[in-house]
C-alpha cells in the first residue's frame, strides 16, 4: 500500500494530476479539457488544482518539461552505455519504443501541445528536444558519414513520427510484437534514409 495508484493518496496528488491531465490532453487537446474536469479526474473538484500548479499553462509546461528531460536523459544514458554506433542506435530505438508504448498519452501531448506552453519554459523544452534529436543525429552520422546533417535530422524526425504513431494504432497488437515491429521498421527506415545516394 505504499503508493496509491488511482492518485488519491494523501501525497502524490501532483503526480496524479499530471498523469490524469496527460490522458485528457491526449484525448481532447489542451483547450478541450477544463480545470473542473482535471480536478474531477483525481477525485477533487476544480480549483484544488491551484494548490499544486500556478495555472493550467504551468501544468502543461511542467508536463512537457518532465517528458523532454526524461527522453534526453535516457537518450544520453543509452548512448553512453553503448560500445558501438550500431549498438547505440539500437539502444536509442528500444528506449524510445519502450517509452512510446508505455506512455502513449505523454508521447502524444509531447508533440502536439508545445504551442500552448508559455514562453519562458517553451524555450527550455525546445532545447531539450533539440538535444535529444542531436543525440540520434550524432549516432547516425557515425554510421553513415557523408550524409548531410540536415538530411539526417529530417530522417530522425520522420522516425519519431513512425515510433510515436503507437497511440493511433493502440492495442491492436500485443505490446511485445508491436515493439519488435517498430524496432525493425525504425531501423530499416533510418538506415535506408542514411544510405548515400538513396
Q: Which residues bind its own copies (CB under 8 A)?
A: 27-32, 111-112, 115-116, 150-151, 153-155, 157-166, 168-169, 172-173, 177-178, 180-182, 184-193, 195, 198
Partner from its own copies, DNA, none binding residue 115, C-beta < 5-8 Å depending on class: its own copies
- In the set 4, 36, 73, 142, which binds DNA (CB under 7 A)? 36
**Closest to 131 in 3D by CA, of 194, 60, 63, 76:** 76
> Nearest approach, Cβ of 80 to its own copies (angstroms)?
26
Spatial neighbors of 192 by CB under 8 A, at least 6 apart, are: 198
> Nearest approach, Cβ of 32 to DNA (angstroms)?
8
> Nearest approach, Cβ of 20 to its own copies (angstroms)?
17
* Angstrom distance (rounded) from CA 110 to CA 105: 8
The verdict on 34 binding DNA (CB under 7 A) reads yes
For residues 149 and 89, is the Cβ–Cβ distance under 8 A? no
Q: What is the DSSP letter of 173?
A: S
61-92 in b/e burial notation, b at 16+ Cβ within 10 A? bbbbbbbbebbbebbeebbeebeebeebbbbb
Footprint of DNA on residues 50-109 (CB under 7 A)? 50-52, 54-57
Residue with cell 502536439: 112
Contacting range for DNA; rule: CB under 7 A; set: 35-43, 95-103, 131-139, 177-185 = 35-43
Helix (H, G, I), strand (E, B) or coil at 50: helix
> Nearest approach, Cβ of 118 to its own copies (angstroms)?
14
Interface contacts to DNA, rule CB under 7 A: 11, 13, 31, 33-37, 39, 44-48, 50-52, 54-57
Amino acid at each position: 500500500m505504499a503508493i496509491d495508484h488511482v492518485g488519491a493518496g494523501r501525497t502524490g496528488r501532483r503526480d496524479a494530476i499530471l498523469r490524469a491531465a496527460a490522458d485528457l490532453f491526449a484525448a481532447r487537446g489542451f483547450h478541450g479539457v477544463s480545470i473542473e474536469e482535471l480536478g474531477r479526474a483525481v477525485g477533487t473538484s476544480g480549483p484544488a488544482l491551484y494548490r499544486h500548479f500556478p495555472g493550467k499553462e504551468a501544468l502543461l509546461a511542467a508536463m512537457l518539461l518532465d517528458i523532454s528531460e526524461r527522453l534526453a536523459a535516457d537518450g544520453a544514458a543509452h548512448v553512453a552505455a553503448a560500445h558501438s554506433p550500431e549498438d547505440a542506435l539500437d539502444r536509442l530505438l528500444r528506449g524510445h519504443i519502450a517509452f512510446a508504448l508505455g506512455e502513449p498519452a505523454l508521447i502524444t501531448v509531447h508533440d502536439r501541445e508545445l504551442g500552448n506552453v508559455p514562453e519562458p519554459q517553451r524555450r527550455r523544452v525546445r532545447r531539450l528536444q533539440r538535444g535529444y534529436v542531436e543525440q540520434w543525429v550524432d549516432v547516425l552520422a557515425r554510421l553513415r558519414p557523408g550524409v548531410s546533417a540536415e538530411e539526417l535530422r529530417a530522417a530522425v524526425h520522420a522516425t519519431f513520427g513512425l515510433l510515436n504513431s503507437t497511440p493511433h494504432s493502440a492495442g491492436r497488437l500485443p505490446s511485445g510484437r508491436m515493439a519488435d515491429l517498430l524496432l525493425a521498421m525504425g531501423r530499416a527506415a533510418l538506415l535506408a534514409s542514411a544510405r548515400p545516394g538513396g
